[in-house]
Chain A
Amino acid sequence: MESSLQKTALKIVDLVNKEKDHIPPITTSEQNPFPYRMVVNPKQQNLEKGFGGWS
């Protein structure tokens, strides 16, 4: 578990440092210019909702 956690944490650091060019420019003075969303088990939620995710 320890090695799995360490490997994952280092992978995040590696990715965020390497891939920055796609980050959009901040053109707004809003408190958070980039809204976020977290979804748990999205594929299972789509199956429960039906084809295409439309309810």
Chain B
Amino acid sequence: MTASPPHSHTLEIFSDQHLVRDLSKGILHTIFFHRYFPSIRPSLYTPSSSSAPTPRTTSTTDTTLPIPLPCILDPPEIAAAIDKSVADLMSQLTTPSGPGNVPPGGSRGEIVVQFFDRKRRKTGYTGGWLGRLGGGGVQTDEEVCWEEWCLKVVVARPRSEAGKLILLPG
């Protein structure tokens, strides 16, 4: 019996380098808020550039997008996993994989979130009288992916010498 393919959804966000971290975190928290079913302690999260690791040189005003998103405070493992994935993404976005691989207008990254179901399966010979006796097989846990979210991130970088930010069309 073959498992059906998981439901797959693709999301795209366009951002500048100062907001990409917060936007990615916000979107991932939103996904988990809707698809993580155990009890959680939620909160609201507003993406801003105030948490950017490098200070902006063009303006001292922090940018906050007026779109509150749900986020998960408890259990802390989810926020920790999201922070780690976003940190990995940021390090890969700022490190070009090779000459000519980074488009002139920006860089791209991707985070895939998969949700699995644990199914107990019996492997080995389970037919005939041996199977009816309950023996002849080994129980194993199989993880079957039932949903997958692919978050594609496009980061715009300044193109002009004046440092004016030009966003890719979205």
Contact = CB atoms under 8 A, between A and B. Distances in A.
Interface string B70-93: 000000000001100100110010
Contacts of B170: 3-4
B67 A22 contact: no
Interface residues of B, number: 49
Interface in A1-31: 1-6, 8-9, 11-13, 15-16, 19, 22-24, 26, 28, 31
Contact of B88 (A3, A19, A37, A40): A40
Contacts of A54: none
Interface residues of A, number: 33
Contact of B66 (A2, A28, A35): A2
Interface of B: 7, 9, 11-16, 19, 23, 26-28, 30-32, 34-38, 47, 65-67, 69, 81-82, 85, 88-89, 92, 97, 109-118, 143-144, 146-147, 167, 170
Interface of A: 1-6, 8-9, 11-13, 15-16, 19, 22-24, 26, 28, 31-44
Q: Considering the complex of A and B, which 6 residue pairs feature the smallest CB-CB distances, nearest first?
A: A16-B34, A24-B117, A40-B88, A38-B85, A4-B14, A4-B170
